[in-house]
C-alpha cells in the first residue's frame, strides 16, 4: 500500500494515518500564510509521510484480525485521513490557475485523483462511508457458507469452496460451492447501494461527475479516452479469446454431456474458478497433449509439502493428540508457504534486486490463521514508506498461489524502488503498471525455469510440449482479459447511474455474458448481489488496472527479453538471472509516478502506446493450433436478451 494505494483503494491499501493534531478543523491557522504551491506540496508530502504508518497499521490489523474493534479503529483512521484529504483539497484551490512547477502541478492532480473512495464533505456522511467500506470488506473476509444443522453443520469459507472448484469435477458439488460462496454477498447489496451514493456525492464535491470519472482520470489522458482505449486493446485480443472459449466449451461439453454449456456460454460453476477469471484449474480437462511431459506444478508443490510434513511428524517422535498434530500441520504449512515466497524472492534477486528485509519474513501473513477471520485475498503492503513491506496471503501449495506470490512481490519491489520519491509520487506510473510487474516475472517462468528449480521434470522439446506450455499460460492470461474489463464496465455504469440498483445483478450477468461468454446455470435475479462475491467490489479496488496489466506485462516482458539479448521465439524467453534486464526493470520502478506513464513506458519499451501485439506474438503458435482444433465448430455465442425488470407495483407514497 503506497500512498495512492491507500488513497485509492483505501481499504485494501493502507490508509494514511492522521495524527490527532492534524484533525483540528481547518482554520488555516496551521497553514503558512504566503505558502507557494511548491511549498504546499512539500508540506502535504511531509504530513502524508507522518500520518501514513498509523493508517496502514489500522488497516493491517483490521485485515488480519477481523473484529468489531479492529473495524472500528480502521474506519476511524480512514475517516481522519479522508477528512485530512478534504482539507488538503480545499487548500489546493488557492493555486488553481497559478504558475507552478510541473512536478507540483502533477502532485496536486495526483492528490485529487488519488482516492478511489472520494469522501463527501459532510462529516457525518464521510464517517458513514468509512464504516460501510470497512464493514463490506469485513463481510467478505469473514464470509462463510454453512449447510446442515446441529452436529451435522458444515461451514466453509472461500478457500475451501475454491478448493472444490479447483479439484472436484462433480457437477453438483461445484454448483453447491459456487452458490454457497455467492450467498455471502446478498447482505452487501444495501450497503453497496448506499456506498455508491456516498462516493458519488464525494466525487461531485470534488468537481467530478461521479466516482467513476475519478477512477478514469488516472491515466495521463482525458478520462473519456480510457474506455475507448481499453476497447481498442480488447478488440486486438478478442479473436484469441474467442478461440480459447470455443475450445474450452467443446471440452466441457464432452466432459458434461448436455450440461457443458448454457446456450453456447460457459457455465459459471464449471470453470475451476469462482469468477471464471482464470481457467488454469481445468488443466485436467484442457491439457492439449497429456503425453508431452508434465507441467503439474501443483502436484510438485503438494508432494514437497507432504514430504516436509511427514518429516516433521516423524521428528516429533511422540504420539500426537489431535491438537498436537494440528500444530505440526500448521507449522508445515507455514514452512512451505515461506519456501514458496523464498523461491519468488530468488527470481528478483537473480535480476540484481535486493533481498526482502528480515521484517518482511517476520511480519507478513503467509497462511490463514486458525483462530480468527482474516481477509485472505492476497495483497502487498508498504507500511511506512521505508522498508516495512509485507504480503498478506493465505498460501496453499498450489500453482495459483505460487504465481500469486511472484505477483505480490512485484508490488513490494516497486514500493522499495520508489520509496525515495516524495510520497505523492510513490505509486505506479499508472495502476496497471503496479499490477504488471510481478506478472512480467510470471511470464518468464518458462518450463525451463520451472525445471531448473525442480518443479517440473526434464521438458520435452517440440510442438506438443510447446502447445502445452502455451495453453498453461493462456488459461491464466488470456482467459482473464474479458474479466479484467467487465468489472469496471459494471462499476462505471453503477456510478454514472446507467445501471440502477434494481438492475445490479442483471447488468452484472449481461456483462459477464457479453465479455466472457459465461452464464449461471440458473436464474440469478435481483434477490442476489453477485458482484459482492468478488473481492474488489466490497474492497472497492478499481479493476481496469488488471486488464491494462495483462496487456502491459507482455510489452514489458518483450522489452526485458530484448534487454537480456534474447533472440528466439518470445514465448520461450526467460530472463532469470539477467542483471541487464534487472537494471532496466529497476530503472522503471524507481521512477514511480513522478512522470507521465507514457514517458516511463517509452524508456523501457521504446513506445508510448499500449499495444496487444506482443500478446498475439507470444500466443501465435497456440492461436494457430486452436483454430485447427475448432475447425467445424460454430464458435462464438449470443448474449441473451436481458429479462425485463419486474414492474414496481408499489403505490406511490402518500
Question: Longest C-alpha distance within the chain, in Å?
Answer: 77
Smaller CB separation from Zn ion, 435 or 611: 435
Instruction: Please count the residues of this chain forming the interface with Zn ion, following the rule CB under 5 A.
Output: 1
Smaller CB separation from Zn ion, 210 or 435: 435
Q: Should residue 426 be labelled a site residue for ligand X8Z when binding is judged by CB under 6 A? A: no
Smaller CB separation from ligand X8Z, 85 or 158: 158
Q: Should residue 234 be labelled a site residue for ligand X8Z when binding is judged by CB under 6 A? A: no
Q: Should residue 366 be labelled a site residue for ligand X8Z when binding is judged by CB under 6 A? A: no
CB of 539 to ligand X8Z, least distance (A): 9
Restricting to residues 361-380, which ones interact with Zn ion according to CB under 5 A? none
Q: Should residue 395 be labelled a site residue for ligand X8Z when binding is judged by CB under 6 A? A: no
Euclidean distance between CA atoms 353 and 560, whole angstroms = 15
Smaller CB separation from ligand X8Z, 305 or 480: 480
Q: Should residue 403 be labelled a site residue for ligand X8Z when binding is judged by CB under 6 A? A: no
Judged by beta carbon distances under 5 to 8 A according to partner kind, the member of ligand X8Z, Zn ion, none in contact with residue 391 is none
Catalytic option among 47, 408, 411, 435: 408
Judged by beta carbon distances under 5 to 8 A according to partner kind, the member of Zn ion, ligand X8Z, none in contact with residue 404 is ligand X8Z
Q: Should residue 378 be labelled a site residue for ligand X8Z when binding is judged by CB under 6 A? A: yes
Beta bridge partners of 379: 392
Restricting to residues 481-510, which ones interact with Zn ion according to CB under 5 A? none
Closest by CA position to 615, among listed 470, 487, 517, 447 = 470
The three cell numbers of residue 335 are: 514452512
SS3 168: coil
CB of 546 to ligand X8Z, least distance (A): 4
Euclidean distance between CA atoms 300 and 304, whole angstroms = 6
Task: Supply the Cα-derived Rg of the chain in whole angstroms.
Answer: 25
Euclidean distance between CA atoms 242 and 98, whole angstroms = 51
CB of 378 to ligand X8Z, least distance (A): 4
C-beta of residue 421 within 8 angstroms of C-beta of residue 412: no
Euclidean distance between CA atoms 564 and 577, whole angstroms = 10
CA 330 to chain centre: 27
Restricting to residues 253-282, which ones interact with ligand X8Z according to CB under 6 A? 277
Closest by CA position to 162, among listed 277, 273, 271 = 273
Pairing status of strand 144-147 against strand 154-157: antiparallel
Pairing status of strand 518-519 against strand 266-267: parallel
Long-range contacts of 455-461 (CB under 8 A, 24+ apart): 455/297, 455/300, 455/301, 456/293, 456/294, 456/295, 456/296, 456/297, 456/300, 457/293, 457/294, 458/293, 459/293, 460/292, 460/293
CB of 411 to ligand X8Z, least distance (A): 7
Binding mask 606-635 for ligand X8Z (x = CB under 6 A): ------------------------------
Judged by beta carbon distances under 5 to 8 A according to partner kind, the member of ligand X8Z, Zn ion, none in contact with residue 586 is none
Smaller CB separation from ligand X8Z, 106 or 407: 407
Residues for the chain: how many in total? 654
**Whether 408 is catalytic:** yes
Smaller CB separation from ligand X8Z, 245 or 411: 411
Euclidean distance between CA atoms 57 and 62, whole angstroms = 9
Catalytic option among 5, 182, 536, 550: 536
CB of 552 to Zn ion, least distance (A): 13
Q: Should residue 537 be labelled a site residue for ligand X8Z when binding is judged by CB under 6 A? A: no
Euclidean distance between CA atoms 202 and 207, whole angstroms = 9
Residue nearest to Zn ion (CB): 435
Q: Should residue 412 be labelled a site residue for ligand X8Z when binding is judged by CB under 6 A? A: no
DSSP conformation letters of 369-416: -SSS----S-EEEESSSSS-EEEE----SSHHHHHHHHHHHHHHHHHH
Smaller CB separation from Zn ion, 83 or 379: 379
What single-letter DSSP state applies at residue 632?
A: T
Q: Should residue 200 be labelled a site residue for ligand X8Z when binding is judged by CB under 6 A? A: no
When binding is defined by CB under 6 A, the residue of 404, 468, 516, 559 that contacts ligand X8Z is 404
Euclidean distance between CA atoms 435 and 408, whole angstroms = 9
CB of 407 to ligand X8Z, least distance (A): 6
Smaller CB separation from Zn ion, 447 or 538: 538
Smaller CB separation from ligand X8Z, 66 or 442: 442
Judged by beta carbon distances under 5 to 8 A according to partner kind, the member of ligand X8Z, Zn ion, none in contact with residue 379 is ligand X8Z
- Give phi and psi for 266, each to the nearest 5: -85, 130
Smaller CB separation from Zn ion, 241 or 414: 414
CB of 393 to ligand X8Z, least distance (A): 8
Long-range contacts of 158-161 (CB under 8 A, 24+ apart): 158/274, 158/376, 159/368, 159/376, 159/394, 159/396, 161/274
- Give phi and psi for 382, each to the nearest 5: -105, 110
**Whether 536 is catalytic:** yes
CB of 253 to ligand X8Z, least distance (A): 27
Closest by CA position to 123, among listed 69, 77, 71, 80 = 80
Restricting to residues 412-441, which ones interact with Zn ion according to CB under 5 A? 435
When binding is defined by CB under 6 A, the residue of 77, 379, 555, 594 that contacts ligand X8Z is 379
CB of 404 to ligand X8Z, least distance (A): 5
Instruction: Please count the residues of this chain forming the interface with ligand X8Z, following the rule CB under 6 A.
Output: 6
CB of 5 to ligand X8Z, least distance (A): 9
Q: The cell 514508506 sits on which residue? A: 385
Q: Should residue 546 be labelled a site residue for ligand X8Z when binding is judged by CB under 6 A? A: yes
Long-range contacts of 299-305 (CB under 8 A, 24+ apart): 300/454, 300/455, 300/456, 301/336, 301/340, 301/397, 301/398, 301/399, 301/402, 301/455, 302/397, 302/398, 304/336, 304/339, 304/397, 305/332, 305/333, 305/336, 305/397
Which residues bind to ligand X8Z, rule: CB under 6 A? Answer: 277, 378-379, 404, 407, 546
Could you give the residue numbers annotated as active site?
Answer: 408, 536
Residues at the interface with Zn ion (CB under 5 A): 435
Amino acid at each position: 500500500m503506497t500512498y495512492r494505494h491507500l488513497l485509492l483503494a483505501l481499504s485494501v491499501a493502507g490508509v494514511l494515518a492522521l495524527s490527532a493534531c492534524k484533525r483540528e478543523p481547518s482554520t488555516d491557522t496551521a497553514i503558512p500564510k504566503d505558502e507557494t504551491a511548491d511549498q504546499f506540496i512539500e508540506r502535504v508530502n511531509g504530513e502524508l509521510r507522518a500520518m501514513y504508518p498509523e493508517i496502514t497499521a489500522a488497516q493491517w490489523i483490521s485485515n488480519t484480525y477481523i473484529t468489531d474493534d479492529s473495524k472500528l479503529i480502521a474506519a476511524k483512521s480512514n475517516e481522519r485521513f479522508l477528512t485530512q484529504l478534504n482539507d488538503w483539497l480545499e487548500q489546493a484551490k488557492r493555486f488553481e490557475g497559478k504558475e507552478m512547477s510541473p512536478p507540483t502541478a502533477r502532485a496536486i492532480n495526483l492528490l485529487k485523483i488519488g482516492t478511489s473512495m472520494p469522501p463527501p464533505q459532510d462529516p457525518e456522511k464521510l464517517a458513514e462511508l468509512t464504516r460501510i467500506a470497512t464493514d463490506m470488506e469485513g463481510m467478505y473476509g469473514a464470509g462463510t457458507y454453512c449447510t446442515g444443522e446441529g452436529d451435522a453443520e458444515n461451514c466453509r469459507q472461500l478457500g475451501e469452496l475454491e478448493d472444490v472448484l479447483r479439484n472436484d469435477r462433480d457437477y453438483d458439488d461445484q454448483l453447491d460451492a459456487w452458490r454457497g460462496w455467492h450467498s455471502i454477498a446478498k447482505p452487501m447489496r444495501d450497503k453497496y447501494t448506499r456506498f455508491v451514493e456516498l462516493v458519488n456525492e464525494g466525487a461531485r464535491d470534488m468537481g467530478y461527475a461521479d466516482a467513476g470519472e475519478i477512477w478514469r482520470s488516472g491515466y495521463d489522458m482525458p478520462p473519456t479516452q480510457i474506455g475507448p482505449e481499453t476497447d481498442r486493446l480488447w478488440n486486438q485480443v478478442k479473436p484469441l479469446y474467442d478461440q480459447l472459449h470455443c475450445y474450452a466449451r467443446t471440452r466441457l461439453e464432452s466432459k458434461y454431456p448436455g450440461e457443458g454449456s448454457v446456450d453456447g456460454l460457459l457455465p459459471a460453476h464449471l470453470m475451476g474458478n469462482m469468477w471464471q477469471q482464470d481457467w488454469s484449474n481445468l488443466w485436467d480437462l484442457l491439457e492439449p497433449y497429456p503425453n508431452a511431459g508434465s507441467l503439474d506444478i501443483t502436484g510438485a508443490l503438494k508432494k514437497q509439502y507432504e514430504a516436509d510434513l511427514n518429516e516433521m511428524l516423524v521428528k516429533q517422535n511422540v504420539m500426537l493428540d489431535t491438537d498436537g498434530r494440528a500444530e505440526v500441520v500448521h507449522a508445515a504449512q507455514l514452512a512451505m508457504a515461506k519456501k514458496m515466497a523464498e523461491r519468488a524472492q530468488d527470481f528478483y534477486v537473480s535480476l540484481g534486486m535486493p533481498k526482502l528485509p528480515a521484517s518482511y519474513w517476520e511480519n507478513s501473513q503467509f497462511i490463514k490463521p486458525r483462530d480468527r477471520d482474516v481477509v485472505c485475498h492476497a495483497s502487498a503492503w508498504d507500511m511506512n514508506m521505508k522498508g516495512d513491506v509485507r504480503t498478506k496471503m493465505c498460501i496453499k501449495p498450489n500453482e495459483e498461489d505460487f504465481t500469486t506470490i511472484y505477483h505480490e512481490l512485484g508490488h513490494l519491489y516497486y514500493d522499495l524502488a520508489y520509496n525515495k520519491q516524495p510520497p505523492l509520487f510513490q505509486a505506479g506510473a499508472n495502476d496497471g503498471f503496479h499490477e504488471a510487474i510481478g506478472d512480467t516475472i510470471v511470464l518468464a517462468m518458462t518450463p525451463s525455469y520451472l525445471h531448473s528449480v525442480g518443479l517440473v521434470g526434464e521438458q520435452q522439446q517440440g510442438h506438443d510440449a510447446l502447445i502445452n506450455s502455451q495453453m498453461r499460460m493462456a488459461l491464466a492470461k488470456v482467459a482473464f482479459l474479458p474479466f479484467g474489463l467487465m468489472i469496471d464496465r459494471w462499476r462505471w455504469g453503477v456510478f454514472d447511474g446507467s445501471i440502477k440498483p434494481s438492475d445490479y445483478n442483471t447488468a452484472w450477468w449481461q456483462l459477464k455474458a457479453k465479455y466472457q461468454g459465461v452464464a449461471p446455470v440458473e436464474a440469478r435475479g435481483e434477490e442476489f448481489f453477485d458482484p459482492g462475491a468478488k473481492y474488489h467490489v466490497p474492497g472497492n479496488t478499481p479493476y481496469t488496472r488488471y486488464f491494462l496489466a495483462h496487456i502491459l506485462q507482455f510489452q514489458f516482458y518483450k522489452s526485458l527479453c530484448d534487454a537480456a539479448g534474447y533472440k528466439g521465439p518470445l514465448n520461450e524467453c526467460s530472463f532469470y538471472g539477467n542483471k541487464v534486464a534487472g537494471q532496466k526493470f529497476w530503472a522503471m520502478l524507481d521512477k514511480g509516478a513522478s512522470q507521465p506513464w507514457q514517458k516511463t513506458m517509452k524508456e523501457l519499451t521504446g513506445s508510448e502506446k499500449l499495444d496487444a501485439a506482443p500478446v498475439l506474438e507470444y500466443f501465435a503458435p497456440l492461436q494457430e493450433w486452436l483454430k485447427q482444433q475448432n475447425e467445424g465448430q460454430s464458435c462464438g455465442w449470443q448474449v441473451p436478451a436481458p429479462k425485463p425488470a419486474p414492474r414496481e407495483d408499489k403505490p406511490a407514497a402518500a
